[in-house]
Structure 1
């Protein structure tokens, strides 16, 4: 859920809760005020009755009008406390009973106790409370709608600079010279965020260019002496006067120089893949590429008497021919190098996945570290970068690469 949606959700929930609680409290407060007004009116009626008795020395006649009902009952030496209560009110002009408010108590007349009971109608008061409650409800709903529309549309425009910055971050490519467009906003936080992003982008691009130049220059400078060393070693190896011991030592140096050259090329390739410097894509049939690779590695397979079985279907991919060639080379090399003589390799290509299975010495490898740089088996003479390169190529195209071990077979699976 987006930040603006979270903000709107919290704001609406809190506001609605406060408004509902306030409306309930307001409703009961209005009811209490209306009831208090009715009780005050009844108290005035009681004072008038008592005043009439004291002045005229007689009980007033019982009254039964539309809005006022008064009754008197003689008591037997029993005082009743004055109390106000809700009751029903019978209007002679209307059928049925209506809500009313009553007061009862005692008064003394001619040394005798009388109970008085005065009832007045609550209809007008209840109608007023209903009108006020209805108006309040519409005000709450109107305020809620205004708040909702304000958060949805007006505040949505307020967040546009943030989403523009976010969109530029998503589209940011460290290898492209395109700079961030400044964002115009009246919000100080968005201005500070835009300035921080601009500064970060410049620093990252500067660091990237420095690293790129260093890597390219270092790789180039390493290749030159390696080429000289290899050339001199080729000359030494062709010398017929070398003793066997000298020849073996030169062979070791030659092998080490070749390994260093391959390591240099692999590291340079990783830098290019990780920084998306290899562009271009073609429609390629993976089945045809696998068959071609099988022919290229056939001599090596035959020399180690490894049996290769395939189950391939046609699968079109839009990929860089250079990267897919490196990926297949590394998978084939890994399956052969870490296999045993007279071992087995099985390649399965389906519409959704490519699977390499190979026999080999030892137990299962650690699936958590096998694709890390310089991770290799104890008996491996490689640089430990082949599977890392495979992993990075899969990441470029969004493929899932996994490893598992079952039935003495190492399985590498790429899910497209």
Structure 2
């Protein structure tokens, strides 16, 4: 699935912010926790220092019970055989809170009246842990707000910065070379976008000139070929009528006559496409598509009977359209002629009108037509066929002229073309 450029960059930013958050949040907690433990250890060593400086020289063994009674967090206990200071975590039951709480404790050897004892100082870590957790949560909230603010600010700035690019992209998507409407690109304060607009504008101008030259050549060539083709066909018809030609010569002349007729149809179709592109069918009227089909239906029934093809109609409602009636007749004629030409013997054609849609379906080759080539000029499902390969191209061009939607469906051997008016 394709994603927008902004979505991709924002996704990268979002991943980056998430990784930063996942790394910094626990790292911050562990750093704060270590700093506090170091501070607690320093506080315990300060108590030991003050005890040695101010109390140990005047303290007697008989004073120890009284000392311990009034100093619950700094006690003198029996000798534990320590030779160096010992810092560790331990748990004590607190009567006031009626629960066991975590402490950081320092044990160090001391001597009172030449008798070894152990100095024990401890500090409660529970309240400190709560404080650290609160600080960590506050930090996390600040980081989330900061990253979210950066993300949305970057998103807003990116949308604003890339807006000229999307305007250019929309102009290119709306541009149709045969509509004679050159896109106008807004000047941007970003050098790269201006260079892009200038390059695209130059490219469009060059291609428009080439397209107009090609179209003019086709139009002129088609016009110039009309008279020679007509003269050539007339002379062939005259020669065929002569009585002094042989049967072999007659066969060659008939073959030439068919080829010239096909060339004449091709020339007329090219002229028709040229006129449509030049908007020479700009006169429009409002008429019923149902009535237009019914006026011509008898002709197509006669054509279909030659292949034993049955034509059925199903008009659910009357559809009024505003278009050039002649062009619309050409569109309907091409659709029906294709349905007859590419049908099977004893086949069937269904003409339906439902809401604003005309549908024409027929049996045909048991393969779906290639949709990528369907409406291209000179594209034929059967390369050896007698058609010019312009019928569907003319249908598409007429539909595009009035903003109609042409669709093709294939299911169970049935080919259907529909026009959404």
Q: Which one of the candidate residues 347, 369, 381 is aligned to 2:386?
A: 381
Counterparts of 1:353-372 in structure 2, within 5 Å, are 354-358=359-363, 364-365=366-367, 367-368=369-370, 371=374
In the alignment, is the contact (CA less than 8 A) between 1:80 and 1:105 conserved in 2?
Answer: yes
- 1:272 and 1:6 map into 2 onto residues whose CA distance is 46
Unaligned runs of 5+ in 2: none
Question: Which whole-Å deviations, capped at 9, do the CAs of 1:315-373 have from their partners, x for residues lacking one?
Answer: 526455444323322232234334567x3433240415613325x7xx63453389474
Residue aligning to 1:412: 416
Q: Which residue is 1:186 aligned to?
A: 189
Secondary structure of the corresponding residue to residue 262 of structure 1: helix
- Residue in 1 aligned with 2:202? 199
State whether residues 79 and 113 of structure 1, in contact with CA within 8 Å, keep that contact through their aligned partners in structure 2.
no
Rounded to whole Å, the distance in 1 between the matches of 2:126 and 2:309 is 101
Question: Is 1:259 matched with 2:262?
Answer: yes
Q: What corresponds to 2:408 in structure 1? A: 401
Conserved in 2, the CA contact under 8 Å of 1:399 and 1:414?
A: yes
**Aligned position for 2:77:** 73
- Tell me, what secondary structure is at the counterpart of 2:366? coil
Classify 1:269/1:100 alpha carbon distance in 2 versus 1 (closer, same or farther; 3 Å).
farther
Once the 2 structures are TM-superposed, how far is the Cα of residue 29 of structure 1 from its aligned partner?
0.7
Q: In the alignment, which residue of structure 2 is the partner of 1:164? A: 167
Change (3 A) 1:391 1:166: closer
How many positions carry a matched residue from both structures?
407
C-alpha distance in 2 between matches for 1:236 and 1:123: 117
Deviations 1:72-118 (A, max 9, x none): 222476779712325458698x9988764322244344564423321
Corresponding residue for residue 208 of structure 1: 211
Aligned match for 2:224, one of 202, 205, 221: 221
The residue that corresponds to 2:329 in the other structure is 325
RMSD over equivalenced CA pairs, Å? 4.1
Structure 1 residue 28 corresponds to structure 2 residue 30: yes
Per the normalisation by structure 2, the TM-score is: 0.77
State the Cα distance separating 1:212 from its structure 2 match.
1.3
| CA deviation vs aligned residue, 1:366-412 (integer Å, no higher than 9, x gap) | 53389474435588433344355456666763332124454xxx543
Where 2:370 maps in the other structure, the secondary structure is coil
Compare 210-219 and 291-300 and name the one that shifted more: 291-300
Instruction: Tell me the equivalent position of 2:86.
Output: 82
**Correspondence for 1:154 among 136, 157, 162:** 157
Per the TM alignment, residue 155 of structure 1 is displaced from its structure 2 partner at its CA by: 3.4
Distance 2:40 2:300 in 1: 104
**Mean CA deviation greater in 268-277 or 144-153:** 268-277
* Structure 2 equivalent of residue 232 of structure 1: 235
Give secondary structure in 2 for the equivalent of 1:223. helix
1:118-137 correspondence runs (5 A) = 118-122=121-125, 125=128, 129=132, 132-133=135-136, 136-137=139-140
Q: Separation in 1 of the partners of 2:280 and 2:47?
A: 97
**Counterpart-to-counterpart distance in 1, 2:274 and 2:102:** 87
Instruction: Give the Cα–Cα distance (whole angstroms) in 2 for the partners of residues 276 and 26 of structure 1.
Output: 72
Distance of aligned partners of 1:324 and 1:258 in 2 relative to their CA distance in 1, 3 Å threshold: same
State the alpha-carbon separation in 1 of the partners of residues 283 and 76 from structure 2: 106
Is contact 2:164–2:188 with CA below 8 Å preserved after alignment? Answer: yes
Measured in 2, the distance between the counterparts of 1:377 and 1:184 equals 50
Stretch of structure 1 that moved more, 392-401 or 251-260? 392-401
Structure 1 length-normalised TM:
0.78
Q: Which residue of 1 aligns with 2:49?
A: 47
Partner of 1:7: 9
